[in-house]
Copies of this chain bind each other. A is one copy, B any other.
Amino acid sequence: MRQAGRILKPYRVLRQRHGSLLTLFKTPELAAEITLMPVDLLGVDAAILFTDLVTPLEALGCELTYAPGPVFARPIRSAADIDGLRNPVPEDDLAYVLEAARLAHDALPPAVPLIGYAGGPFTLATWLVEGGHAKDFPAFRRMIHSNPTLAHRLLNLLSDLIGRFLRAQIEAGAQAVQLFDTSIGLLSPAQFNEFALPYLQRVCRSLAPLNAPVIYFPLAGAQNLSCFGRVGAHVLSLDWRIDLDAAYGLFGDTMPLQGNLDPCALYGSEASITAAAQRILKQGRGRPHIFNLGHGVYPDTPSEKVKLLVDAVHQVVQT
């Protein structure tokens, strides 16, 4: 999980020294250094690019600050707002992310892959239309009811941007990419099929020629679990809410599944963390499975607990 970095002391030192999160995201050397930290300090088997969900949205010309979460100066609410968006070229407008990917890729041991990262189209729309975080993101959900044509126009534009951005990340050295859909749980099956699925499929289709695995992470979306197989991703990453056996049951052991450990399990004792890891590894045994947390590490999680988890998993997998 991407946020594994924020529990690490060297990350906190960098964050303190440079003050703003935007500086860390926008300085390729720093972003690359942070990307490597969990590999070096926790021993995880892959690195995930240190960048933010909303990063590509700034390239549309939307002024972005952190206070402390992302805030857009002008939320996108009307056709005129959408007309005013720039048509970004990731190689130019998001060059700093791609440079961070190149630096991280070059610094990683050959056996440790770099995973690129972007938000799903629906999720990015919720942030851009809301203008920041809000409980249940009513602003874009309002748009899908009050002006569905406009909502589709925005989703089209965003899926295009995400596809080009992830493609550029792969060309810059990412060996796999993760599509993070943290708002997707807000949608009913009918809404998912209309306002999310076609755009996710479009992103996945656009990446197909690059032969890099696409990992899809839908947060809190159990009502649409059976639909996630149609997204076109190669791996489905599950949060902690979904029973792994039930998910394998649904996908017939053919879809590689990832994730599933409740990040709050890391607040438990050494014995309970090991037991929780073993339970998931047992469910995944003999099936295509990538061990991971079911969501980001909470910032007050002791890093020793995460290290303990990584070691426990390695011990089981190697025996």
In whole angstroms, how far apart are the Cα atoms of A201 and B189 in the complex? 29
In the complex, are the beta carbons of B262 and A141 less than 8 A apart?
Answer: yes
A102 to chain B, nearest CB (A): 33
Closest to A140 in B: B264
In the complex, are the beta carbons of A145 and B265 less than 8 A apart?
Answer: yes
A142 within 8 A of B: yes
In the complex, are the beta carbons of A146 and B268 less than 8 A apart?
Answer: yes
In the complex, are the beta carbons of B188 and A138 less than 8 A apart?
Answer: no
A53 to chain B, nearest CB (A): 14
Q: Which of B221, B242, B269 contacts A188 (CB 8 A)?
A: B242
Q: Which of B146, B190, B221 contacts A243 (CB 8 A)?
A: B190
A298 within 8 A of B: yes
In the complex, are the beta carbons of B189 and A246 less than 8 A apart?
Answer: yes
Task: Determine the main DSSP class of A at the interface with B.
Answer: helix
In the complex with contacts A223-B222, A264-B138, A241-B145 CB distance below 8 A = no
Q: Which parts of A124-157 form the interface with B (CB within 8 Å)?
A: 136, 138, 141-142, 144-146
Q: Which of B146, B186, B243 contacts A267 (CB 8 A)?
A: B146
In whole angstroms, how far apart are the Cα atoms of A136 and B182 in the complex? 12
State the interface size on chain A (CB cutoff 8 A). Answer: 34
Residues of B within 8 A of A191 (CB): 262
A185 within 8 A of B: yes
A248 within 8 A of B: no
In whole angstroms, how far apart are the Cα atoms of A189 and B246 in the complex? 10
Closest to A279 in B: B190
Q: Which parts of A252-291 form the interface with B (CB within 8 Å)?
A: 262, 264-269, 272
Between A and B, 26 residue pairs with Cβ closer than 8 Å are A138-B264, A138-B298, A141-B262, A141-B264, A142-B264, A142-B267, A142-B298, A144-B264, A145-B264, A145-B265, A145-B268, A145-B272, A146-B268, A185-B220, A185-B241, A187-B241, A188-B240, A188-B241, A188-B262, A190-B243, A191-B262, A220-B220, A222-B222, A222-B223, A223-B241, A223-B242
